[in-house]
Amino acid sequence: MDTHDRLRLARQRLSLTQDYVASLLDLPRTAVVQIESGKRKLASSELESLCRIYGISADYALGISPDSERTKMYARSIEALPEEDQMEIMNLIEFKKKLARKREAART
């Protein structure tokens, strides 16, 4: 996966629009589209800003560190929520794990 793919996925995981990100970067939306499609090179300041917005490291965006950075991004997002919402998400995770185990057992 290339840098532009990681940046696009990080934006999508946070449910941010390209318009919103462009406004934060003070760039036209077409610049964000080009960055995410790999048709435009990133300035280091743009990479730094995108990483700050998405809550990821530059090492992850550049493909230097593994996908464990994605887990950290999820954790930071969940930490920003109220305690009640955090518990609801944890319950959903446990529910999804049980479903996955049942599907796996049904296949064997």
Structural domains of the chain, ranges and CATH numbers in brackets:
3-77 (1.10.260.40)
With a cut of 70, say whether residue 42 has pLDDT above it.
yes
User: What's the N-to-C CA distance of the chain in angstroms?
Assistant: 32
Q: What is the pLDDT of residues 56-101, one digit of tens each?
A: 889 889 988 766 666 777 788 888 899 999 999 999 999 999 999 9
pTM of structure: 0.64
Environment class of 91 (CB within 10 Å of its CB; exposed 0-12, middle 13-18, buried 19+): exposed
